[in-house]
A and B are shown apart, each in its own frame.
Chain A
Amino acid sequence: MKFRLALSLALASLWHRRGVLGLVTLTLTLSITLLLGVQYLRTEVRQSFSNTISGTDLIVGARSGQLNLLLYTVFHLGDATNNIRWSTYQSLREDDRIDWLVPISLGDSLKGYRVVGTDDGFLRHFRYGDERPLELKGGKWFEDVFDVVLGAEVARVLKHQTGDDIVLSHGTGSVSFMNHKDTPFEVTGILEPTGTPVDRAVYVSLEGLEAIHIGWESGVALPGRTVTPEQARNRDLTPGNITAALVGIERKVLTFQIQRQINENQAEPLSAILPGVALSELWRVLGQFEKALLGITGFVVITSLIGLTAVLLTLQAQRRQEIAILRATGASPGLIASLYLLECVLLAIVACVIAIGLGAVAIALLGPWLLEQQGIQIGLRGLNSSEWTILGFVPVAGLLVALIPAWRAWRGSHHQGLSGTP
């Protein structure tokens, strides 16, 4: 009964002071939205990051650390320390335990975007997110030596469409003066956005990569040694080596066995890594920064709550007569103190509810744009347990900071006379 009375009085009091408290609640709402948003994005980015590649059981490359191999094959960051011989790749293909192999050959670029030499197996086997396959937004996967398929961001930023001719650059720099201008490619397809590094890559055939490097054996185009596309087509374009290979294994139980055998390969020093494990390790490194960001945002919420307490303390002086009336009517100091606690907790809950709504609207509106323009995949979903925990922390923190005005009110009520003065 007393709780119901306190609750109804607190609600009426909040509504009565809605002007000033509305502004404080707005501040609190924005800080909670920020906190929740950071946590939400953290979860989404982590999920998106973990799902950059899925369905691939092993990544095989020249002997190196697993992070390095992961970074250059999946994220197209950094460069390989060495290549894999084509014959080694072929011997892996002959292994019955391996279901599929997709070659990856790196080294060239298109205006800063990495060129990935591969085959049609990439379209068939590469998965991201929750085992989602790649899809073409328009056109078709490359068939000819000089066909090229663009990732969604590459096509959008460079404003390319199917049918356009493009010239690849030698090397991986964003600006290159060494272009394979004698052997232009035609855009035959553009991939749907995936929110992964696939969006920022250019896909050509291994033969295409071989073709454009005829006459470039010394690293630069040697006059008289380069060929026209027609001449290239008549050459043997079997690659001598590749950068890495994605491996799919039907019987997952064999994964570790195959990984060990590849790592112990006597013919050529190789590294086989489990993408999931490598991604987790990479996230552990990156995760420190997002934890720091979450901590900073938490302090923003605490600051807002302290601001709310300051306002409640300021309002306390204005409420002396109201408190005197309640005390004269028989309200206990405990009931008076509970009004302050309830008001603060209610404001925090209201701020949390608005923050959820605000966040949902923002994600619903910005999600498609983020995927299209920034390649960041953020979808609308229910809150997870850690996000609910953070939300639950806000009213609890509100309750704790409200103890200050509540204690002052409780103590003041004990010494307050009938007229509201001590």
Chain B
Amino acid sequence: MTTQPSSVATSSNIVKTMAVGSKDLSYAWSERSTPIKFPDIRLIAGEHLFLRGASGSGKSTLLSLLAGLAVPRHGELRIMEHVLSAMSAGQRDRFRAEYLGVIFQQFNLVPYLSAIGNVLLPCRLSATRRQHTSPTPAGEAETLLSALDVPPELWNQKVTAMSVGQQQRVAAARALIGSPALILADEPTSALDADNRDRFIDLLLGQARARNTSVVFVSHDQALARHFEHHLTLEPLS
């Protein structure tokens, strides 16, 4: 199973950077367990992938592989032309800080940091992300929070006082700051109602497009698929 289109060259023969490229990827929890095999993925920089699958189909495991938090048993995984599967644990940590943004299903924010503090976290962990902000990390954080409709009076408040929707938008701002190459979103709309869900998707993808950031978006909700140009369904494990 591959995403469409599978080619990385456009009709105008301009070679584009591959955001995600995987081949024969498999993962096993232990030496004895049966490996999960994943379809090959070829996602060009700036494009968005909708990843769907039943519970237990390996969606979270695939995201952990893409994030460099798990190591594949077999196969090759490239993110922005870097072979993630060949990196050491420390290299993967640094790579994640520089190239990836992550949004979780819920409890997305560090509870003891303010909204701004949470958004600025990637810039404190990566000089590259800090350098890619415009004009400054704090300035971009405020721009993103404004663009994602987080009221200014909440920016310096404790995040635990915010609604779930507001917390998800702060998490989106954190994922977007410093224009990372790839955002991994693990069912970020599952706790939102329909209005907030569509608004969140529009804001997230709109900001991602503006930054030429690829998005891998995991969800059970088929209704969201229309927002994405690429779709991938993971089959339940036998």
User: Residues of A with Cβ closer than 8 Å to B?
Assistant: 1, 5, 9, 12-13, 15-17, 321-322, 324-333, 414, 416-419
Contact = CB atoms under 8 A, between A and B. Distances in A.
Interface in B104-162: 104-105, 107-113, 117, 121-122, 124-126
Contacts of B126: 330
25 contacts: A1-B124, A5-B125, A9-B110, A9-B112, A9-B113, A12-B117, A15-B112, A322-B110, A325-B102, A327-B69, A328-B67, A328-B69, A328-B100, A329-B174, A330-B100, A330-B125, A331-B97, A417-B60, A417-B61, A417-B64, A417-B69, A418-B60, A419-B63, A419-B64, A419-B104
Given A325-B109, A330-B94, A416 B125 contact: no
B40 interface: no
Given A12-B117, A325-B102, A330-B98, 15 more contacts: A1-B124, A16-B112, A17-B112, A321-B104, A324-B104, A325-B108, A326-B110, A328-B69, A329-B102, A329-B121, A329-B125, A330-B100, A414-B89, A416-B69, A418-B102
Contacts of B121: 326, 329
Interface string B187-205: 0000000000000000000
B51 to A, nearest CB: 13
A348 to B, nearest CB: 20
A16 B112 CA distance: 5
Nearest to B129: A330
B124 A5 contact: yes
Shortest 6 CB-CB contacts between residues of A and residues of B? A330-B97, A16-B112, A328-B102, A417-B64, A12-B112, A330-B125
Interface in B200-223: none
Given A12-B113, A418-B69, A331 B61 contact: no
A15 B110 CA distance: 13
A419 B89 contact: no
A325 B159 CA distance: 14
A327 B184 CA distance: 14
B155 to A, nearest CB: 16
Nearest to A4: B124
B47 interface: no
Contacts of B105: 419
Contacts of A325: 102, 104, 108-110
B70 A417 contact: yes
A322 B110 CA distance: 5
B125 A418 contact: no
Contacts of A9: 110, 112-113
B48 interface: no
A278 B205 CA distance: 87
Contacts of A328: 67, 69, 96, 100, 102, 104
B161 to A, nearest CB: 13
Interface residues of B, number: 34
Nearest to A8: B124
Contacts of B113: 9, 12
A332 B90 contact: yes
Given A416-B69, A417-B70, A330 B60 contact: no
Interface string B147-184: 00000000000000000000000000010000000001
Contacts of B104: 321, 324-325, 328, 418-419
A329 B122 contact: yes
B81 interface: no
A328 B70 CA distance: 12
B32 to A, nearest CB: 16
B93 interface: yes
B59 to A, nearest CB: 10
A395 to B, nearest CB: 22
Nearest to B117: A12
A414 B64 CA distance: 12
Contacts of A414: 89
B162 to A, nearest CB: 15
A331 B93 contact: yes
A329 to B, nearest CB: 5
A322 B67 contact: no
A257 B165 CA distance: 93
A15 to B, nearest CB: 7
A329 B97 contact: yes
B169 to A, nearest CB: 15
Interface in B60-78: 60-61, 63-64, 67, 69-70
Contacts of B89: 333, 414
A417 B104 CA distance: 12
A13 B112 CA distance: 6
Contacts of A16: 111-112
Q: Which of A17, A333, A417 has the most CB of B within 10 A?
A: A417
Nearest to B95: A330
Interface string B32-71: 0000000000000000000000000000110110010110
Contact of A330 (B108, B109, B122): B122
Q: Which of A325, A326, A331, A332 has the most CB of B within 10 A?
A: A325
B67 A418 contact: yes
A298 B161 CA distance: 43
Contacts of B69: 327-328, 416-418
A74 B184 CA distance: 82
Contacts of A326: 110, 121
Nearest to A323: B110
Contacts of A329: 96-97, 102, 121-122, 125, 174
B125 A331 contact: yes
Given A16-B112, A329-B97, A418 B64 contact: yes
Contacts of B63: 418-419
B66 to A, nearest CB: 8
Q: Which of A13, A321, A416 has the most CB of B within 10 A?
A: A321
Contacts of A321: 104, 107
A325 B108 CA distance: 7
